[in-house]
Chain A
Amino acid sequence: MEIRVNATRQELTRLKARVRMAKRGHKLLKDKRDQLMKEFLAIVHESQRLRQELEKKLSLAYKSFSLARAVLSPPALEEALMVAGGPEEVSISYRHIMNVVVPEMYITGRSPAQGSQPEEGRVMLPTYGLASTSSDLDDALAQFRGIMPLLVRLSCIERTIQLLADEIEKTRRRVNALEYVLIPELEQAVKDVEMRLEEMDRANASRLMKIKDIVRAH
Chain B
Amino acid sequence: MDEFAWASAVGRIRVLEKGLLSKQELNRLAESRNLEAAIGSLRDSVYGPYFARLENVEDFDVALERFLADSYAYIGSMAPEPLVITAYRARYDFHNLKVFSKSRLLGIPREDKALSLLGNIRPEDFIGFLDTIDRDRDAGVARDTSLEDEKSERPDLVELKSVLARTYETLKSRVVNDANNTLGLSPLELDSLVDRAFYGWAQGVFRRFGYDGVSDFLSSEMDILNLKMALRAKRLGLPCSLFSNLALPEGNVPSEVLVDAYGKDGEKIKLAYKGTPWERLASEGVALLERGERLTAWEKSCDDALFRLIKKARILPLGPEPVIGYIAAREAEVKNIRIILAGKQSELSAGEIAERLRESYV
Q: Which residues of B contact A75 (CB under 8 A)?
A: 65, 95, 99, 113-116
Is B43 an interface residue when CB atoms closer than 8 A count as contact?
no
Is A113 an interface residue when CB atoms closer than 8 A count as contact?
no
Q: Report yes or no: B356 in contact with A70, Cβ–Cβ below 8 A.
A: yes
- Distance in angstroms from A85 CB to nearest chain B CB is 10
A62 to B342, CA, bound (A): 12
**A129 touches which one: B65, B191, B236 (CB < 8 A)?**
B191
| Residues of A42-80 contacting chain B, CB below 8 A | 62-63, 66-67, 69-71, 73-76, 78-79
| Residues of B182-238 contacting chain A, CB below 8 A | 186-188, 190-192, 194-195, 225, 228-229, 231-233, 235-238
Q: Which of B13-21, B157-165, B254-262, B293-301 contacts A (4 or more CB under 8 A)?
A: B293-301
- Distance in angstroms from B183 CB to nearest chain A CB is 9
- Distance in angstroms from B50 CB to nearest chain A CB is 15
- Distance in angstroms from A93 CB to nearest chain B CB is 29
| Residues of B227-253 contacting chain A, CB below 8 A | 228-229, 231-233, 235-239, 242, 246, 248
Tell me the nearest residue of chain A to B344, going by C-beta.
A70
Is B320 an interface residue when CB atoms closer than 8 A count as contact?
no
**B299 touches which one: A73, A76, A129, A135 (CB < 8 A)?**
A135
Q: Report yes or no: A126 in contact with B188, Cβ–Cβ below 8 A.
A: yes
- Distance in angstroms from B313 CB to nearest chain A CB is 23
Is B111 an interface residue when CB atoms closer than 8 A count as contact?
yes
Is B54 an interface residue when CB atoms closer than 8 A count as contact?
no
Given contacts A70-B342, A79-B99, contact A123 B187 (CB under 8 A): no
A147 to B321, CA, bound (A): 47
* The 6 A-B residue pairs with the shortest CB-CB distance in the complex, in nearest-first order: A129-B191, A78-B114, A70-B342, A66-B346, A135-B295, A75-B116
Between A and B, 30 residue pairs with Cβ closer than 8 Å are: A62-B346, A63-B348, A67-B356, A70-B342, A70-B356, A71-B335, A73-B65, A74-B65, A76-B95, A82-B99, A82-B103, A83-B108, A123-B238, A124-B237, A125-B236, A125-B242, A127-B186, A127-B187, A128-B188, A128-B191, A129-B187, A130-B191, A130-B229, A131-B225, A131-B248, A132-B191, A135-B294, A136-B296, A138-B236, A139-B294
Q: Report yes or no: A130 in contact with B187, Cβ–Cβ below 8 A.
A: no
Is A206 an interface residue when CB atoms closer than 8 A count as contact?
no
A210 to B58, CA, bound (A): 105
Tell me the nearest residue of chain A to B113, going by C-beta.
A78
Given contacts A125-B188, A130-B232, A131-B225, contact A67 B113 (CB under 8 A): no
In the complex, besides A67-B348, A70-B339, A82-B108, 4 extra interface pairs with C-beta distance below 8 angstroms are A82-B187, A83-B187, A130-B188, A130-B229
Interface size on A, residues (CB 8 A): 30
Q: Report yes or no: A70 in contact with B338, Cβ–Cβ below 8 A.
A: yes
Q: Which residues of A contact B233 (CB under 8 A)?
A: 130
- Distance in angstroms from B334 CB to nearest chain A CB is 8
Interface size on B, residues (CB 8 A): 50
Is B102 an interface residue when CB atoms closer than 8 A count as contact?
yes
Tell me the nearest residue of chain B to A127, going by C-beta.
B187
Is A134 an interface residue when CB atoms closer than 8 A count as contact?
yes
A131 to B106, CA, bound (A): 20
Is B343 an interface residue when CB atoms closer than 8 A count as contact?
yes
Q: Report yes or no: B95 in contact with A132, Cβ–Cβ below 8 A.
A: yes
| Residues of A131-168 contacting chain B, CB below 8 A | 131-132, 134-136, 138-139
Q: Mark B137-150, 1 if CB is under 8 A from A, else 0.
A: 00000000000000
Is B61 an interface residue when CB atoms closer than 8 A count as contact?
yes
Q: Which residues of B contact A67 (CB under 8 A)?
A: 296, 343, 348, 352, 356
Q: Report yes or no: A73 in contact with B338, Cβ–Cβ below 8 A.
A: yes
**B236 touches which one: A82, A124, A131 (CB < 8 A)?**
A124
Tell me the nearest residue of chain A to B112, going by C-beta.
A78
Q: Which residues of A contact B299 (CB under 8 A)?
A: 134-136
Is B98 an interface residue when CB atoms closer than 8 A count as contact?
yes
Q: Which residues of B contact A70 (CB under 8 A)?
A: 338-339, 342-343, 346, 356
Given contacts A124-B236, A125-B238, contact A83 B195 (CB under 8 A): no
Q: Report yes or no: B113 in contact with A74, Cβ–Cβ below 8 A.
A: yes
A79 to B98, CA, bound (A): 8
Q: Report yes or no: A83 in contact with B106, Cβ–Cβ below 8 A.
A: yes
| Residues of B321-342 contacting chain A, CB below 8 A | 335, 338-339, 342
A136 to B356, CA, bound (A): 11
A67 to B248, CA, bound (A): 26
Tell me the nearest residue of chain A to B62, going by C-beta.
A74
A83 to B299, CA, bound (A): 24
Tell me the nearest residue of chain A to B99, going by C-beta.
A79
A73 to B335, CA, bound (A): 8
Q: Mark B44-70, 1 if CB is under 8 A from A, else 0.
A: 000000000000000001000100000
Tell me the nearest residue of chain A to B61, going by C-beta.
A74
A208 to B111, CA, bound (A): 103
- Distance in angstroms from B195 CB to nearest chain A CB is 4
**A131 touches which one: B229, B294, B342 (CB < 8 A)?**
B229
